[in-house]
């Protein structure tokens, strides 16, 4: 009997610069374990045509609807798809808007190909990849906001610990290994956390945790 083959991660690219888009497509297509299922120059072109996709690499400065504006309709149509913003913007405004509106990762276009592929795997596995500089900026930025009083039911000590590890960038598998618990138990904790915080994604949970100083 043949061993079970690892799943190929399906990636779509929304980028208006032709050379950069084609370069990304080739990197992904020629790497084992990855498949580029579509390339698009705008959100308007991508939304009606994009097939089932695991991870989307999304530029912000696109013609027509911006990458950040695309997050809501894209998440509505493809709720299980992870979206990584891949952009030249590294200012607080763009970072804050992308994270709070549902981005699952935020990388700069100068990210080396090997690190980009690792980030795609990380997002697919439940993590929230960010360029180190962006991650530091995001944490400092959220610290500036006055914490709001949370109306959510209180988290248990274990749920708080799991949420803290999510904020630190760990994915489900890494959380399970860190806490010596099963993957199913981790998923149950996250389900309860999402219900209590009234959020629907990892990025929303991270944003709320930082804004309300929950961890």
- At the topology level, CATH places domain 9-142 in Rossmann fold (3.40.50)
Q: Kindly write down the DSSP assignment for every residue of 192-213, as one continuous string.
A: HHHHHHT--SHHHHHHHHHHTT
Mean pLDDT of the chain: 87
The residue with tokens 């949970």 is 205
Say whether 147-211 and 9-142 share the same fold. no
For domain 147-211, give the CATH number: 1.10.10.10
Mean pLDDT value across residues 15-42: 95
Q: Are 193 and 172 in contact (CB under 8 A)?
A: no
Residue 1 has pLDDT above 50, yes or no: no
Collapsed DSSP state (helix, strand, coil) of residue 15: coil
86: enclosing H helix or E strand:
strand 82-87
Strand order in the sheet with 9-14: 34-40, 9-14, 55-58, 82-87, 105-108
Determine the average pLDDT of the residues in 64-83.
92
Whether residue 121 is predicted with pLDDT greater than 70 in this model: the reply is yes
Alpha-carbon span 123 to 54, nearest angstrom? 9
Q: Is the pLDDT at 134 greater than 90, yes or no?
A: no
Two structure tokens written together for 176: 């399970």
Q: How far is Cα 4 from Cα 9, in angstroms, rounded to an integer?
A: 15
- Work out the average pLDDT over 102-109: 91
Residue 130 DSSP one-character state: B
d(CA 61, CA 83): 15
pLDDT digit string, tens, across residues 137-179? 776 766 665 455 555 578 899 999 999 888 888 888 889 999 9
The residue extents of the domains of the chain are: 9-142, 147-211
Give the integer Cα–Cα distance in Å for 200 and 84. 17
């Amino acid at each position: 009997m043949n061993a079970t083959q690892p799943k190929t991660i399906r990636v779509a690219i929304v980028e208006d610069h032709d050379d950069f888009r084609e370069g990304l497509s080739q990197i992904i297509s020629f790497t084992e374990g990855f498949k580029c299922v579509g390339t698009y120059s705008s959100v308007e072109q991508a939304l009606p045509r994009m097939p089932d996709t695991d991870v989307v690499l999304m530029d912000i400065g696109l013609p027509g609807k911006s990458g950040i504006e695309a997050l809501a309709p894209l998440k509505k149509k493809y709720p299980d798809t992870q979206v990584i913003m891949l952009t030249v913007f590294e200012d607080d405004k763009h970072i804050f808007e992308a994270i709070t509106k549902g981005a699952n990762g935020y990388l700069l276009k100068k990210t080396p190909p090997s690190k980009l592929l690792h980030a795609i795997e990380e997002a697919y596995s439940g993590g929230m990849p960010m360029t180190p500089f962006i991650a530091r900026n995001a944490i400092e930025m959220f610290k500036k906001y006055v914490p709001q009083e949370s109306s959510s039911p209180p988290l248990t000590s274990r749920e708080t610990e799991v949420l803290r590890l999510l904020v630190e960038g760990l994915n489900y598998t890494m959380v399970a290994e860190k806490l010596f618990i099963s993957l199913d138990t981790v998923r149950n904790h996250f389900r309860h956390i999402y219900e209590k915080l009234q959020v629907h994604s990892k990025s929303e949970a991270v944003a709320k945790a930082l804004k309300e100083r929950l961890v």
